[in-house]
Amino acid sequence: MKALKYSDIVLVPNYSECTTRSDCDVSVEIAGKKFRLPIIPANMKSVINKQLAKWMSDNDLFYIMHRFDIDIVEFVRRCNEQSWKNISISVGVKEHDEKIIEAIAELKYRVDFITVDIAHGYSRSMCDMLRFIREKLGDSVCVIAGNVATRDAVVALNKWGADIVKLGIGQGSPCTTKDKTGFTVPMFTCVRKCHQCYASQEEFDAGKRIPVIADGGVACNGDIAKALVAGADLVMAGGLFASCIDSPADVIMVDNIACKGYFGSASFQNKGHRNHIEGKLNKMESNGMSYEKKFEEITQDLQSAVSYAGGGDLSSFNKVGHLEV
């Protein structure tokens, strides 16, 4: 079977009775919370910061705060004091990250989502961390874990304690894993192969899937629809947002054109050293939009995609066919 990227396929329109695209519902429910869109800005330093996280929480948009060079416990404390609608953080799998979880548990802070975010999620380190979180916090938090790229890995991470599994190895534009190591799975095929996973025969019989996030490979708004057609419940994108005028990415002038410096989590720019580098700096021309305007654009484009899919909400993508190009 040929492995496909989003750019390798197009979606086939269905009959529609939609008369006004703006009436199409593109909201999504995650762990009992309703959000306006199924899109998540990547939890990376050049994509999300505290101010944008607060704005997204206030406006019912799902975010995941990155875990680099910030005091996560202090971030959670302030979110609790200010009664944020949604408190969503990232951790790794080191001893430092276990101390963060212990502090949150001891202080009894509310956290709605914890994302355990490492390059190779199908690993002993992930297993240990997920079990540690469940031991300390029980079922009081929705746990997202990744990244992985196989069905076996999705089932394993769920068994270890993840509620939602994040898919994608080496597919983000600033990621060099596929070039450095040879390991990757193109995103459309990755999601298609991994989205129909169940924790048990009973859950299969009940039609209760393990939810997945498609992380990486999104180059344009239409790729969000393609990811949802492939079977993703949520879609994570970095460059779409790093190129916004108010993103945390630094402005870099290239031939008198304002560009944004978008870098991967395993890059020198993020790590500050050159051990096990699997990321690079991309100089992206600014899209000229604020986050607010970008989300408005995504909303309208996704509503149009729903109308082409022949339905009135995101479930219409379940019946959309695709062609290779």
Q: How far apart are CA 75 and CA 89, in angstroms?
A: 9
In the block, tokens 């302030």 appear at 78
For the question of residue 220 being annotated catalytic, the response is no
Find the catalytic residue in 18, 175, 244, 259: 175
Q: How far apart are CA 70 and CA 283, in angstroms?
A: 24
Catalytic residues: 175
